[in-house]
Amino acid sequence: MAFELLTETPPLLREGHFINFIGGWPEAKDNKWFRVERVQQIKYDVARIVAADSSIDLDFRAPSGGGLADKNLSLIPNKDQTCYELLMGFKGNALVYPMYANSYFGKLETTNVVPDTGNTRLRYLGFFDEDDSPFNAPRLREHVVRDQEPPVLRVYNDYPIDERLVIRIIVNRVMLVAVSAVAENIRQVARVAKHHQYFTY
């Protein structure tokens, strides 16, 4: 699990690709190889009004009882054999901070150098906006699986008026089949999917 900002909209995982989940994933996936059996792309737009100088948190979990809620996006799969590959693009004047378990993803190593929307300097650390990942050409990617630590997007409006942010999410629903091993020469061909890393702090 690691948000990645890419230089252009990446190709999605396709049938026949292989995935190796490396380090820190839930037990059903951790350090195991899978082959992509089927894929399905689902477009999902999320629009929220963010009040001036305030923030909202958008949790990838489903609300209790299922469905959708204002702050729950329901973007964690329910099945072990499913992985969601997510591409996210933004439209609107807002700063978007990826988080895991109340810890910001984009922070530096020096003590107390972490995003802080209440600090006029630190609020400009570790965020993404529509210039980084445009609505019609999303470049922010994340992979999610069942039972993982759910990502959160903290959306902050640093404008003096209310702002509307729209997030275009392309959900590539990937159905996986476990494979016992992948030959060393197969790992180097172009069809092999990237290695997913899970960063913990």
pLDDT digits (tens, 9 = 90+) for 90-140: 999 999 999 987 889 889 999 999 999 999 999 999 999 999 999 999 999
Q: Does the pLDDT at position 163 exceed 50?
A: yes
Residue 185: the pLDDT is 55
The CATH number of domain 40-173 is 2.60.120: yes
Residue 114: the pLDDT is 93
Longest CA–CA separation in the chain, Å: 57
Residue 186: the pLDDT is 61
| pLDDT: which is higher, 30 or 195 | 30
pLDDT, tens digit, 9 for 90 and up, residues 54-68: 999 999 999 998 899
Residue 184: the pLDDT is 59
Residue whose C-alpha is closest to residue 174's, from 98, 86, 88, 66: 86
Residue 200: the pLDDT is 37
Q: Does the pLDDT at position 198 exceed 70?
A: no
Q: Does the pLDDT at position 1 exceed 60?
A: no
Residue whose C-alpha is closest to residue 158's, from 92, 76, 107, 80: 92
Residue 30: the pLDDT is 86
- pTM value is 0.89
Q: Does the pLDDT at position 189 exceed 70?
A: no
Mean pLDDT of 177-192: 62
Residue whose C-alpha is closest to residue 143's, from 185, 171, 168, 116: 171
Residue 24: the pLDDT is 80
Taking all residues of the chain, what is their mean pLDDT, rounded to a whole number?
Answer: 89
Residue 74: the pLDDT is 97
The token pair that represents 131 in the structure block: 């210039």
Residue 196: the pLDDT is 52
Residues 30 and 176: beta-carbon distance below 8 Å? no
Residues 151 and 98: beta-carbon distance below 8 Å? yes
